[in-house]
Amino acid sequence: MLDGWVPWPEPLAEKYRAEGYWEGRPLDRLLRESAGRTPRRTALVDADGSGWTYAELDLRADRMAAGLRRLGIGDGDRVVVQLPNTDAFVVLFFALLRAGAIPVLTLPAHRESEIVHVAEVSGATAYAIPDLHDGFDHRTLARALRKAVPGVEHVLVAGDAAEFTALADIDADPAPLPEPDPGDVAVLLLSGGTTGKPKLIPRTHDDYTYNVRASAEVCGFDANTVYLVVLPTAHNFALACPGLLGTLMGGGTVVLSPTPSPEDAFALIEREKVTATAVVPPIALLWLDAVEWEEADLSSLSLLQVGGSKLGAEPAARVEPALGCRLQQVFGMAEGLLNYTRLDDPSELVIGTQGRPLSPADELRVVDEDDRDVPPGESGELLTRGPYTLRGYYRAAEHNTRAFTTDGYYRTGDLVRILPSGHLVVEGRAKDQINRGGDKISAEELENHILAHPGVHDAAVVGMPDETMGERTCAYLVPRGQAPGQRELAAFLTERGVAAYKLPDRVEVIEAFPRTSVGKIDKKALGRLIADLLRAEGIGGN
């Protein structure tokens, strides 16, 4: 068993098994079973139109698993996976599971700062990348990673491998492989983070299979589903809610979009007769506008899932008339808990709430600053535990004492209120994080990078209101001599290997920070300051 993760207490695990939430099946089984039922149906279609049947995908995953084991990758080895929305991701994901290895899923946008950290914490022995993606040569990053983390022995490349191993060459005759313990960790997901460094989220075979199965049920995914992956495949929403995995479990077809642009996505919806997809609110807004001028036939689309950040009621109300499909709001987190509006919910709830918990076994509390339950219907911080919500971040014992209550509830950092119907309304956030249109930025992580700049004495990162993204990132700087401007700071942070989505959208210089009564930087006051400034400039804010 993998060490450094926090399992559920045995009595609770026993209950989840007894009540049928955990079925004791390895995660890769969902592909095996669909391939057994419908070997000749199309499982996967790439953007260029090349397709894989279930039998082909299943066999290729088996062959790659055998090849991985021959390379010495298996049995609990962690492999950092950073692949875009291509079939290479899907094949490698199942091959790793079958080889007994643990995929550590990162986003294509991550750079040296994030990848080195994730490889270090996970103790990874391999790193899987595309050769080039979005104008960036991932092999260069791989070279830097191998210097920084010598334990990373293998670099696996989709495309031109240079001195590394081509994924296409990882191939061997399948041999029977040991089955993993379904109670053990299957994948490590990346958390949005609220502290200095990104955290890893262990998801077990049992818990993630349940996450996928229950989501597929609630969303009505079956063999007729054609699901378009628009968000990065590595994102929990697109992967497992019900996403790519839920589609394969039901025997449907997964279509991979290289980008979320209306040009790419609409063309694929028309060509492949896509029935369902999942996006973040800024993409939903873009699509709502694009239907006015893009000519594509979207009539096959019956479900648009929107989540990752809050969708306003006004655009929510426009989805069904403009796109001709049902809207589903999803308030979820890589840590576990998922809330969905249901397909048969009345439209007030679909438009005005962020859904209700997926599972009857999800336990939710809404508490005040002293962890006392607030009266029903009032707003407070959401705490949760359940059969698919983590009990601790991976190798983060100290942080876990703050991120969880002593009885195992995860502190989401989200401010919510719960309606009598059980639906949640997300009202804000208590955590020090910026949600930039679904991309999560830990203020502390970014501040630590900014503080390395010689022209910065102190830094505080806050969100500023933005009509399309919900919020963007503003860095307040107390200068030491000459403070950097926005472009100089962005160049400095890029040089340090910080992902582009984390770069501050705006920099403001301030002589001294406002302080709270206990002397902490008053971020609420800074947030008001930037909102006032934007309003005075006539941009955004309300």
42/435 with CB nearer ligand OOB: 435
Least Å distance between CB 393 and ligand OOB? Answer: 12
Least Å distance between CB 405 and ligand OOB? Answer: 16
Least Å distance between CB 240 and ligand OOB? Answer: 8
| Binding residues vs ligand OOB (CB under 6 A) | 192, 236-237, 241, 307-310, 329-334, 338, 354, 412, 414, 426, 429, 435, 438, 440
Least Å distance between CB 239 and ligand OOB? Answer: 9
Least Å distance between CB 310 and ligand OOB? Answer: 4
241/507 with CB nearer ligand OOB: 241
84/281 with CB nearer ligand OOB: 281
282/307 with CB nearer ligand OOB: 307
Least Å distance between CB 440 and ligand OOB? Answer: 5
**Contacts of 398 by beta carbon, 8 Å cutoff, 6+ apart:** none
233/354 with CB nearer ligand OOB: 354
Instruction: Please measure the distance between the N-terminal and C-terminal CA atoms of the chain and give it in whole angstroms.
Output: 51
Least Å distance between CB 416 and ligand OOB? Answer: 9
3-state secondary structure of 529: helix
26/192 with CB nearer ligand OOB: 192
The residues pairing with 411 across neighbouring beta strands, listed in sequence order, are 383
Is the C-alpha dihedral spanning 481, 482, 485, 488 positive or negative? negative
Interatomic CA distance for residues 289 and 267, integer angstroms: 16
Q: What is the DSSP string of 55-108?
A: HHHHHHHHHHHHHHHHHT--TT-EEEE---SSHHHHHHHHHHHHHT-EEEE--T
540: left (phi over 0), alpha (psi -120 to 50) or beta: left
Interatomic CA distance for residues 187 and 484, integer angstroms: 40
User: Beta 78-81 vs 102-105: how paired, if at all?
Assistant: parallel
Tokens representing residue 509 in the block: 């210089």
Comparing every residue's Cβ against ligand OOB, the nearest one is 332
CB atoms under 10 Å from CB of 56, counted, come to: 17
336/408 with CB nearer ligand OOB: 336
Interatomic CA distance for residues 342 and 349, integer angstroms: 9
